[in-house]
Structure 1
C-alpha cells in the first residue's frame, strides 16, 4: 500500500461505498437482552437511510449542517448516520454517558441544528438550562417524549427515494469529540476523505474482513470506534454485522460468537479478559473466528495465551486516536510479536523521536510522533514529520 492509495476522489460521499451492496444481502443481525431478534438487509437499511435524509431536509436541515445523536446499539443508529451523510450533513456522536452540560457543550460548540436521541435518554437534554441558539429540532428515537418530534412518525411520512447530495472529499462527515484528557473535549473534524482512507486501512490490513464474513465489533454508537468498525468496516465492505443490545456477560458473548458463527471479533481487552476466565471455555465452538482484534488498552499476555491455547486464535492489538484512523496494529501477513501493539500502517504515519524531536535509532525508547493533518473544530492543527514539538499529543513507546 502506498500513501496515494488512501487519497479519495475529489467528488466523494462515503455512502456511495455502501450503495454498491444495495441488495437482499444481510447487513445486520440484531439481538437484544430479551432475546428479540431482527435481520436487516442492505436494501432495507439503505432505503431507511434515504427516508431519514428526507426527514432532515423536510425539517430544513441541509448540506453543511450538523446534527448530534445519542443512541445505543440499535438499528436506527445506522439509519441516522446513513441518512445524514447521504444528505451532506455531519454527525456529532454522543455517548449515553453524557450529562446535560456535556450535551449542551457539544451542541453549542459544534453548532448542531438538531439532536436525535433514544427516548430513554431524552431527560438529560430536557434538563439543559443554558440556551442553545443553533438547535432547531429535537427528535426522539424508538419512543415518544413530550416536546420532541418522533423519528418513527417522521419516517412514516418520508419518501424512500433520495438523490445523494454532491459532496467534496474534504466536506465534513463526522465531528467527534475527544475525551478531554488535557482540557475540555475537542471536536475533531473527519471528512468523507477520512472515511475513504479508513476503509482501505482498518478492515483490510487489520480486521482482515473477507467476503461473506460476519463481523462483531462491540463498540457503542457514541464513540469514534463505532464509526471505525461496526459502521464503516462492516457496511463499507458489504459484510454482515452482529449488533447486541444488552449488558455484557462473558458467557453470553461467547454463546453469541458461537450461534452467529462470527468470523471477525473486535472488542476491548476487558471483554477478552473476562471471557478468558469462563469455566469450560473450551466447550464453546469458535472455529469460524479467523480474526480477533482489540483496542483501547494493552492486551494482557495471560489473556493472549488463553485464547491461543484454547482456540488456536491469535489476539491482535491495535492503536489509534480520535483524531486518526488505525495508526499501529498487528497487520495481516506480518509476523506477530507477543506483547507488541504492532507496526505502523504506513511508515509515513509514524516516527519515534527523542526529546529534541530527532528520530531515534532502532532499540531506543522514544516518543511516537504521528504525521497527520487534521482539524479540531474551529481550530486547525497541522503537523509534519519535523519541527512538531508540542503540536500533537504524543505517547512514550
Structure 2
C-alpha cells in the first residue's frame, strides 16, 4: 500500500523536523517510481537522514502509525501477530500496542519506582509481553537490557552487578536463578514476574497491568540519550555492555527496514531470532515498525524446521529472516513439499551462507537469500539490497549509513582484493548509527578506534565491484547459536 499521500509533519517542540529521517512513514522502497530498475546508487543518493535533537521511537514512530490507522490510511495488518502453535493468537494494532505499552510504562514508573535513565534487565522468551516492555522502556526513558533464557545464575549475577540494573523482568523459568544471586546485587530494587502465578519477593506483571491506567506522558528523550544495552557474547573475556542511543537503532535501522528487508506497511515479517539478541531488536522491533509492517512471532520454544515450514505455508508471511544455520537445516528437510504462497523476500545474517544452500533454497522457493552483515555495535553495515545483483557468499555492499573500508594495521585503506580489517569511518564525523560506547569501559571503547575508523574486529576483502567478503574474526569468536 503506497503511503506517499500520507502527510505527517512529525514535529516536536524544540526539535528539527523528523520528516526526513522517518520518511519511512510516507514512502517506502516500493513506492519510488521505477522500482523495477531500483539501483544501489539510487538508494545511496536518496538516503539522506537528518538527526533531530529529540527523538523517541514510541512517540515519534509507533504513535504516528496509530494515527495513520485511525485515519484508515494503513493496511489492515496488525502491528504484532503472535501465535503459540497450539491455537492461541494475539493480534495488536498500533493503537492497541500504544494503549497496552502505556499501561506497562505506568507499571514501571509507579509500581517499580523506575525513573528515566534507570536500567531494566528483561529475560523473556517470545511472548507478547517482551514487546510491550520494549516499548514501555522507550516511553519511560528506562534503559532496556535484554537477555536470553540460556543465561545461567552466574551470567545473571554478572549482568546485574555490571549494569547496576534496578529491575529485572522475567518468568517462572528464570526467577529461581535470579533469587539465588539477587542478594548479591545491591542495586536491584524490583523483581517483576510475568506469570499467572505468584512468587515471594516478586511483583506480578499481569496483575499490575490489569490495574494500571492507560494514560502516560512519554518522556522527552534526546537522540543521544541511552536507550538500550546489549551484552555481547564473545567466547573469550567477559561480555561487554554495548550501549545504544534512541536514534542509533530508532532511526538507523530505517536502512534495514526500507532497503534490505524491503518492507512496506502491507508486509508481514517473521524474524526467528531469540529475544535475547540484538537481531531481535533489529528486525522484530525497529526495522519492521519504522515501515509500519506487521511483526509476526511464533512462540516456538525450540527451533524446529517443520514448524517453520508449516507456519510459512499457513500464514501470509511475506518477508522472512533467519540465520544461515537455520537455512542449512531447511534445505536438508523436505522443503519442496511445502508451498509458501505469500513469501516474496528472504534475508539472512550472522555468518556467511554457503552458495549451495542459497542455490537449494532458490530451487525450492524461487527466492534468493539476501545476506546482510552487522554487529551488536552497529546497524546494517553491508547488505545485498533489493534490486542488487547477488554474489552468493558475499555480504553485499556498504549500507548508505556508513563509509565502509578495508584497512591495514595502521589504519590505511587497502585496495580491492587485499585482506584487512572491516572498518567504518568515524572521523571527522562519527556516524550517529554506531553504538555510543561500551558502558563503564572507556578503554575498550577507545580501543575500537584506529586512525579515522571504527574497527569491527572482522577481517574481510572488497572486490573490484565493491562487494565485501567475510574472511574471519580478528579476535574472539561470536557465539550466535541463539
1:49 aligns with 2:93: no
Aligned with 1:222: secondary structure? coil
The structural deviation recorded for 1:338 is 1.6
Distance 1:347 1:141 in 2: 38
In 2 relative to 1, CA 241–387 (structure 1 residues): closer, same or farther, beyond 3 Å? closer
Q: What corresponds to 1:73 in structure 2? A: 126
The structural deviation recorded for 1:396 is 3.7
In 2 relative to 1, CA 70–119 (structure 1 residues): closer, same or farther, beyond 3 Å? same
Q: What corresponds to 2:18 in structure 1? A: none
Q: What corresponds to 1:136 in structure 2? A: 189
Farther off after superposition, 174-183 or 164-173: 174-183
In 2 relative to 1, CA 274–90 (structure 1 residues): closer, same or farther, beyond 3 Å? same
Question: Is the contact made by 1:287 and 1:311 (CA closer than 8 Å) also made in structure 2?
Answer: no
Pick one of 32, 48, 51 that aligns with 1:5.
Answer: 48
In 2 relative to 1, CA 63–4 (structure 1 residues): closer, same or farther, beyond 3 Å? farther
Q: What corresponds to 2:395 in structure 1? A: 341
Q: What corresponds to 1:27 in structure 2? A: 79
Q: What corresponds to 1:369 in structure 2? A: 423
Distance 2:456 2:416 in 1: 23
Distance 2:345 2:120 in 1: 34
Question: Is the contact made by 1:319 and 1:328 (CA closer than 8 Å) also made in structure 2?
Answer: yes
Pick one of 172, 183, 196 that aligns with 1:119.
Answer: 172
The structural deviation recorded for 1:42 is 1.7
Aligned with 2:173: secondary structure? helix
- Structure 2 gaps, min length 5: 1-43, 71-75, 431-435, 462-482
In 2 relative to 1, CA 170–388 (structure 1 residues): closer, same or farther, beyond 3 Å? closer
Farther off after superposition, 308-317 or 283-292: 283-292
Q: What corresponds to 2:309 in structure 1? A: 254
Distance 1:13 1:196 in 2: 8
Distance 2:272 2:284 in 1: 7
Aligned with 1:362: secondary structure? coil
In 2 relative to 1, CA 326–388 (structure 1 residues): closer, same or farther, beyond 3 Å? closer
In 2 relative to 1, CA 388–236 (structure 1 residues): closer, same or farther, beyond 3 Å? closer
Farther off after superposition, 195-204 or 134-143: 195-204
The structural deviation recorded for 1:307 is 1.5
Deviations 1:44-90 (A, max 9, x none): 22111100111111122011111110000010001111111111111
Deviations 1:242-265 (A, max 9, x none): 111122221221111121121110
In 2 relative to 1, CA 164–139 (structure 1 residues): closer, same or farther, beyond 3 Å? same
1:270 aligns with 2:314: no
Farther off after superposition, 317-326 or 101-110: 101-110
Distance 2:219 2:211 in 1: 21
Question: Is the contact made by 1:371 and 1:385 (CA closer than 8 Å) also made in structure 2?
Answer: no
Question: Is the contact made by 1:371 and 1:384 (CA closer than 8 Å) also made in structure 2?
Answer: no
Under a length normalisation based on structure 2, what TM-score does the superposition of the two structures give?
Answer: 0.78
- Structure 1 gaps, min length 5: none
The structural deviation recorded for 1:95 is 0.7
Question: Is the contact made by 2:422 and 2:460 (CA closer than 8 Å) also made in structure 1?
Answer: yes
Question: Is the contact made by 2:252 and 2:401 (CA closer than 8 Å) also made in structure 1?
Answer: no
In 2 relative to 1, CA 181–387 (structure 1 residues): closer, same or farther, beyond 3 Å? farther
Pick one of 152, 159, 178 that aligns with 2:206.
Answer: 152
Question: Is the contact made by 1:264 and 1:290 (CA closer than 8 Å) also made in structure 2?
Answer: yes
Tell me how large the CA RMSD over aligned residues is: 2.1
1:86 aligns with 2:147: no
Question: Is the contact made by 1:293 and 1:317 (CA closer than 8 Å) also made in structure 2?
Answer: yes
Q: How does 1:269-308 map to 2 (within 5 A)?
A: 269-279=324-334, 281-308=335-362
Pick one of 421, 426, 451 that aligns with 1:386.
Answer: 451
Aligned with 1:76: secondary structure? helix
Farther off after superposition, 171-180 or 364-373: 364-373
Q: What corresponds to 2:17 in structure 1? A: none
Distance 2:290 2:320 in 1: 17
Question: Is the contact made by 1:7 and 1:196 (CA closer than 8 Å) also made in structure 2?
Answer: no
Deviations 1:181-226 (A, max 9, x none): 4411110110001023323211112111122101000112111110
Aligned with 1:5: secondary structure? coil
Aligned with 1:208: secondary structure? coil
Question: Is the contact made by 1:31 and 1:244 (CA closer than 8 Å) also made in structure 2?
Answer: yes
In 2 relative to 1, CA 64–113 (structure 1 residues): closer, same or farther, beyond 3 Å? same
